[in-house]
Structure 1
Amino acid sequence: MNFPKPDVFAPAKLGPVTLRNRVIKAATYEGLTRNGQVTDALIDFHVRHARGGVGMTTVAYCAVAPEGRTDRRQIHWTDGAMPGLRELTDAVHGEGAAVSAQIGHAGPVANPKSNKLPALAPGRHFHATTQSFAKAATPADLDRIVEAHGRAGKKAIEAGFDAVEIHMGHNYLTSSFLSPKINHRKDEYGGSLENRARLARDVARAVRDAVGDRIAITAKLNMDDGVPGGFWLDEAIKVARWLEADGTVDALQMTAGSSLLNPMYLFKGDAPLREFAAVMKQPVKLGIKLVGRRFLKEYPYEDLYLLKDARQIRAAVDLPLILLGGVTTKATMDTAMAEGFEFVAMARALLREPDLINRIKDEPATESLCIHCNKCMTAIYGGTHCVLSAEPAWGSASA
């Protein structure tokens, strides 16, 4: 199929929002919040990406409920968080970029020891990294979480966000319900794909009903969990079609992998076992040293590594799509546009060089300095940054 190739650096509509270009800074947990509050360092992180040229930057991640955090320091949508979030959005807008809030519930990926609240999953499930069990979510739990997504959408508007990204990937709560590997329920949330997709569709509907067309709504949807028996592309195509038919999202960002079962599947490149072990507490530290290679598997990196699967989503829906995975150069951006994707999302390359977009715009032959070592993943506990950079993307501000 031939698609008209838009200019990646021209303004583009995303739902009701006009972005100055088609490049989105993907959600990468910044590790720069304290007690659920925005810090100067978090603001600086996103201002530097905005100043560096992206059309929109994504704040990751803002949990819809306190038990849905992967760490107790993360933002969730309390009244106390609102002034800091407004300061952040105003600062990003001051640089000419839009800003999105990634909203969701971590489900079985949440850390119950840190949150001091039970993690929730389709059924009882053990999380190796936190060395703890998630409990089965009740229908009442799910109703509460659906409503909480709607409230988060309203809060995002109050805080000045231009968009929200609903997290439906990586075996966070809605993704865990989609996965036949994890979801063995016998009620209306389990069994058939239609039942397993009920939570995702209800969440998207709640957000749409709450925000209308005042801000854009995107969803980050898995194409492949990266584990045998998990959610896979054939089912992802059907869910994408349902979300399109429901009219609840303005765009889909296709992703892959499981933070719970196969975290390196999304990233490709090196698996920095030694660095992961160094930042973990016992007994996880010992486990990584002994059997880490089984959990942190290594996959070869190549540019546009999610394109092959994402093409099949592109062929199945008319919704705008955001291509993630190995977008690092003007050539890869142009390929995405030629393949019919309306936007591209970038993460590691921008951690390495927050001003990369401006430099590519000035000199299209510019190459990214990111080497896909993935050591940035181990930096989240003290502020996410490229360990090879002279200065992190949040500058010298205190976290």
Structure 2
Amino acid sequence: MPTPDVFAPAQLGPVTLRNRVIKAATFEHMAPKAMVSDDLIEFHRAHAAGGVGMTTVAYCAVAPEGRTEYDQILMRPEALPGLRRLTEAVHAEGAAISAQIGHAGPVANGKSNRVPALAPTATFSPLSMQKIHRATAADIERITKAHADAALLAIEAGFDAVEIHLGHNYFASSFLSPKVNKRKDEYGGSLANRAKVALGAARAVREAVGDRIAILAKLGMDDGVPGGFWLDESLQVAQWLERDGSVDALELTAGSSLLNPMYLFRGEAPIREFAETFPQPMKLGVQLVGKKFIREYPYQEAFLLESARQFRAALKLPLVLLGGISQRATMDKAMEEGFEFVAMARALLREPDLLNRMQKEPATPSLCIHCNKCMPTIFTKTHCVLA
């Protein structure tokens, strides 16, 4: 088959995208009181005007306790008017829009949300300084249904796609991880048991929406920690998702927001900037021990490609390559290796119009220097500090 042009139209489930580049989900912190703001609309409108095929809203929690913090979109009827304004603004620029739906699980800030966070196993959160509760079977059933309800709301709001969050040790991903999930019941132990939450959420969404909307899943390939979720198990979960027909594409990611966040980003670790976002005594704690948690990994283009190749070899399902995509040559390489889409984040924070300029002149360089100082801005309003 001829190598597709990354800037040619492409089919994603029932949706035709104008090109194969997706703006990856990056928490925007632009949803006060869990509602869409004008700033959030402008953020995604700018990326749509800049040339992406689809932009991803990050992130749309399916339950009140599933937010990483209180000012994060909660998928509920009250949010519909704002969500419609958001999708209409993106569509007016010619792009599609996806809602990343999920439940933060142990990554949620229970103190901010005013409701306890949930995890496979009861533990303590250094973020909220509160106990994280063990999810009951009733919690799992409720959260599974909430994914389906959120997808239906996304259709009503005018979204073209939903992306189910199955990574970064959020709720579903925390069940997948043998390091985090110490349960002895039907949701713990074997991979088949640990995968029930992730597979169940995807099936529930498919059963609810059929083919009225594209369904992606963001799947962690590995947690980046000893004893965590690893490639061999992730590949099996991917094959189960493909078998079920519950998703139209997989976006492959890595790392754990709970245990090793920099494993996803690579490049410099902005410890000083992270420390400045916290009050004392947490600020001092981050300054003193931040290097143990915010580890630093060398940056290279397409840094997840080597792992993602194993998924490409084993699956027929369309795949989205994420991680270090900032040059046109990298996008072309992804197409040559059989990936149907690429996803970008940091480079577009620096230059929302980068793709328009790349389409006109393929040799256009990205100005992103991978300093990762955009990461601490998620506690205010996400932006590139150098732009």
The one-letter code matched in structure 1 to 2:79 is A
What corresponds to 2:21 in structure 1? 23
Correspondences of 1:218-297 after superposition (within 5 Å)? 218-297=216-295
Corresponding position of 1:394? none
- 2:252 maps to amino acid: M
- 2:159 match: secondary structure: coil
Q: What does residue 396 of structure 1 align with? A: none
Counterpart of 2:345 (choices 328, 344, 347) is 347
**TM-score scaled by structure 2?**
0.99
Aligned partner of residue 100 in structure 2, secondary structure: strand
- The correspondence of residues 158-173 of structure 1 with structure 2, limited to 5 A, is 158-173=156-171
Check if 1:58 corresponds to 2:56: yes
Superposition deviation, residue 359 in structure 1:
0.5
**Is residue 374 from structure 1 mapped to residue 372 from structure 2 by the alignment?**
yes
SS in 1 for 2:154: helix
Q: 1:156 aligns with which of 146, 149, 154?
A: 154
**Aligned-partner residue type, residue 230 of structure 1:** G
What is the distance in 1 between the residues matched to 2:364 and 2:127? 38
Q: Secondary structure at the match of 1:18?
A: strand
Show the counterpart of 2:145.
Answer: 147
Instruction: Report the CA distance between 1:380 and its aligned residue.
Output: 1.3
C-alpha distance in 2 between matches for 1:358 and 1:275: 31
Trace 1:1-399 onto structure 2 (pairs within 5 A): 4-389=2-387
Q: Give distance in 2, aligned partners of 1:271 and 1:6.
A: 35
**SS where residue 102 of structure 1 aligns?**
strand
Which deviates more from structure 2 when the two are superposed, residues 129-138 or residues 73-82? 129-138
CA distance in 1, matches of 2:187, 2:43: 39
Give 1:282 shift.
Answer: 2.6
Alignment gaps of 5+ in structure 2:
none
Contact 1:225 1:256 in 2 (8 A): yes
Contact 2:31 2:37 in 1 (8 A): yes
Deviation for aligned residue 1:127: 2.6
**CA deviation string 1:36-73 (max 9, x = no partner):** 11111100000000000000000000000000001111
SS of residue paired to 1:375? coil
Shift of 1:78: 1.6
| Greater RCO (CA < 8 Å, at least 6 residues apart) | 1
Distance in structure 2 (CA, Å) of the matches to 1:127 and 1:317:
37
String of CA shifts for 1:323-376, please: whole Å, max 9, x gaps.
000111110000000010000000000000000000000000011000111110
Secondary structure of 1:118's counterpart equals: coil
Asked if the contact 2:67–2:108 (Cα under 8 Å) also holds between the matched residues in 1, the reply is yes
- 1:397 match: none
Superposed displacement of residue 126, structure 1:
2.4
Residue deviations 1:18-46, cap 9 Å, x none?
00000000000001111011111100000
Residue type of the alignment partner of 1:182: V
Cα deviation 1:238-258 (Å, max 9, x = unaligned): 000000000000000000000
Structure 1 residue 285: Cα displacement: 1.1
Write the distance in 1 (CA, Å) between the matches of 2:163 and 2:364.
29
- The one-letter code matched in structure 1 to 2:223 is D
> Shift of residue 286 of structure 1?
1.4
The answer (yes or no) to whether the contact 1:127–1:260 under 8 Å persists in 2 is no
- Do 2:76 and 2:150's aligned partners in 1 also have CA atoms closer than 8 Å? no
Residue type at the aligned position of 2:39: A
- Please give the TM-score of this superposition, normalised by the length of structure 1: 0.96
User: Following the alignment from structure 1 to structure 2, what is the Cα–Cα distance between the partners of residues 281 and 4?
Assistant: 55
Q: Tell me the SS of whatever aligns to 2:374.
A: helix
Question: What is the CA–CA distance in structure 2 between the aligned matches of 1:370 and 1:152, rounded to whole Å?
Answer: 34
For residues 120-162 of structure 1, what are the alpha-carbon distances to aligned partners after superposition, in whole Å with 9 as ceiling and x for unaligned?
0000122333333211000000000000000001000000000
Q: Deviations over 1:287-330 (max 9, x none)?
A: 11111100000000000000000000111110000000011111
Counterparts of 2:169 and 2:301, CA distance in 1: 24
Note if contact 1:279-1:378 (Cα within 8 Å) is conserved in structure 2: yes
Identity of aligned residues (%): 69
Distance 2:56 2:106 in 1: 23
Query: Structure 2 CA distance, aligned partners of 1:369 and 1:126?
Result: 40
Question: How many Å apart are 1:382 and its aligned residue?
Answer: 1.8
Larger mean CA deviation between 122-131 and 324-333 belongs to 122-131
**Equivalents in 2 of 1:112, 1:281: separation in Å?**
17
Structure 2 distance, partners of 1:136, 1:4, is 50
Query: What secondary structure is seen at the aligned counterpart in 1 of 2:339?
Result: coil
Q: Give, in angstroms, the shift of residue 199 of structure 1.
A: 0.4
Matched residue pairs, number?
387
Equivalent AA in structure 1 for residue 118 of structure 2: L
Q: Secondary structure at the match of 2:186?
A: coil
